[in-house]
Structure 1
Amino acid sequence: MPPASTDANNAIQKLYDVCRASLSEKGPLSPRDSLDNVRAALDMVTPSDVGLEREAGAVRAWRSPRAALGRKRVFHSSPAIRYRHIYECASFSIGMFCMPASSIIPLHNHPGMTVLSKVLYGAAHVRSYRWIESAGSSINLSKARPAKVVRDGEMSAPCGAMVLRPEEGGDVHALRAITPCAILHILTPPYSSQDGRHCSYFRRRPRSHPSGVLLNRTGGSEFVWLEEYQPRHNFIIRRDLYTGPALKL
């Protein structure tokens, strides 16, 4: 069990309180104000608020010029991606991914879910897509479907939170750790197979070009074809112990 909190006003407690007041089983109570409130609270969370100050300090040393030839000695970590679960209810979940350098979380979806993410330390590359579908149409995951890139860039701490809304696209994304990094996630509503919200993984599929890219010559837009697949057996996310302050529920 994580240690009891000695500060009822710590940032992770405030984040939980704001989430409870702003999020429902159908997602944000209001598209703008609720998300703004949650994002503002998320932006205030630091590594020390969730028990990751030592790891954050190690990454600062890892990125220093003096560590260029001895990074393995500076940062001691498992090569596996680790997930530290903080809280979950029917309305939202809060958790952290701790990723070693060069590790990848493959393209995956968040069906009907809003995702808020903040890099607590280190840097990660984020690439997200939206499906090219007409309004109201359903996605058949068993077939390759065209998708368009909506975000392709680096998130490096300290930085503001990223928000992916299902109605705005970008609900299929991949994460690649540029340095060792930790990413704090809020999902609303959370994954639930019972409610049809389960995680599927995707990859590029060549359609008309070996790169998997289809160019829309009339609009000058770039599309890719994505198909569902099962990641390799060596892709493992290990459950890790959350060592930050306990929440007062």
Structure 2
Amino acid sequence: MKNLLRSLQHFSKTSTKHVELFGKLTLRDLGVYVSDADALKYMQDNDYPLGDKAFQLSHSIHQCRYDSETSRFIRHPWKSSPADSLGCSTLFESESVTLCWFVLPPGHALPLHDHPGMTVWQRVMHGRLHISTIVTRASPSTVKTAAATPATVLFDGVVDGREEAIPPSDIFTLGERDGSVLHEVRNVDAAMPALFVDIISPPYLQSPTNISCTYYQVEPARKEGQRLAGLPSDCSVHWKLKAGDDVLLHPRPDYAGPAMRPLVYVGGD
């Protein structure tokens, strides 16, 4: 993790160093966290027992925690119920790049949203995620404002998490060469959370680009697709799709995304 964070401090889109180090990242490398509420309490009072609130992400995602009194791991449900909110953490951010992860409880999705003018490197590191990736050659401003924009499905399928190091060639990469890119990420496991990590350049809402995130609904362009039942309520992709399908994008200007609980990275284990 330290090497990856160091490389992002000197980030260049033309360099492959961050991609190589991203591939070497393991779930355990993601380290230790506290809730943003606990971090705020500690900032207000340095006597607040922050250490008692900290947890190793790789333990929690596997539904356990270490009990120091018994020196054993005990069961500890975490983000494993549809009633739980999404979790997220930003590990690094500058005006040119951000490193962040998201955890999706069962029955949840990060609905279809855009990455206009961005490059995204993505890894699924735990669980099973259904990912729909859609591209359009229309300008970002057109996509955000038009009632309907023609687009094409680039990928639609289930990706299994890989917790250990992977080859850089296995990292899912979307860039400006693809046009305006949008994707939806949905947990397909009925009982366990799923986690993915993104490197995004440039970040949202950072000068000088100040890119905003817009959410969308999508439908088949030919009105003859198969509608899927039983999907999470926050999904935008309600149709059975495949690569190459033509679709229409409809912006959701009044939707700001699902509720998320931020977590604060406090270092390695």
- Structure 1 residue 39 and structure 2 residue 19: aligned? yes
Match of 1:76 in 2: 78
Q: How far apart, CA to CA, are the structure 1 residues paired with 2:248 and 2:213?
A: 19
- Aligned residue pairs total 205
- How far residue 22 of structure 1 moved from its aligned partner, in angstroms, is 3.4
The answer on whether the counterparts of 2:149 and 2:249 sit within 8 Å (CA) in structure 1 is: yes
Q: How far apart, CA to CA, are the structure 2 residues paired with 1:115 and 1:227?
A: 22
Match of 1:91 in 2: 96
TM score, norm. by length of structure 1: 0.71
Q: CA RMSD for the aligned pairs?
A: 3.0
Match of 2:154 in 1: 150
Match of 2:2 in 1: 13
- Structure 1 residue 50 and structure 2 residue 30: aligned? yes
- Structure 1 residue 241 and structure 2 residue 257: aligned? no
Gaps spanning 5+ residues in structure 2: where? 32-56, 65-74, 228-242
Deviations 1:85-141 (A, max 9, x none): 2121111111110111231001101111111111222121111111144xx796242
TM score, norm. by length of structure 2: 0.66
Aligned partner of 1:125 among 124, 130, 138 = 130
- Structure 1 residue 186 and structure 2 residue 199: aligned? yes
Counterparts in 2 of 1:103 and 1:231: CA distance versus 1, 3 Å: farther
Deviations 1:15-46 (A, max 9, x none): 112223332xxxx1x2xxx2x32222111111
The answer on whether the counterparts of 1:129 and 1:151 sit within 8 Å (CA) in structure 2 is: yes
Counterparts in 2 of 1:212 and 1:111: CA distance versus 1, 3 Å: farther
Match of 2:37 in 1: none
Paired residue secondary structure (2:96):
coil
- How far residue 171 of structure 1 moved from its aligned partner, in angstroms, is 1.5
Match of 1:141 in 2: 144
Deviations 1:196-227 (A, max 9, x none): 411000102566526499xxxxxx95211001
Match of 2:217 in 1: 203
Q: How far apart, CA to CA, are the structure 2 residues paired with 1:189 and 1:242?
A: 21
Counterparts in 2 of 1:124 and 1:231: CA distance versus 1, 3 Å: farther
The code of the aligned residue for 2:248 comes to W
The code of the aligned residue for 2:2 comes to Q
The answer on whether the counterparts of 1:130 and 1:149 sit within 8 Å (CA) in structure 2 is: yes
The answer on whether the counterparts of 1:109 and 1:201 sit within 8 Å (CA) in structure 2 is: yes
Match of 1:224 in 2: 247
Match of 1:163 in 2: 173
Match of 2:119 in 1: 114
Q: How far apart, CA to CA, are the structure 2 residues paired with 1:16 and 1:233?
A: 29
Paired residue secondary structure (2:121):
strand
The answer on whether the counterparts of 2:99 and 2:198 sit within 8 Å (CA) in structure 1 is: yes
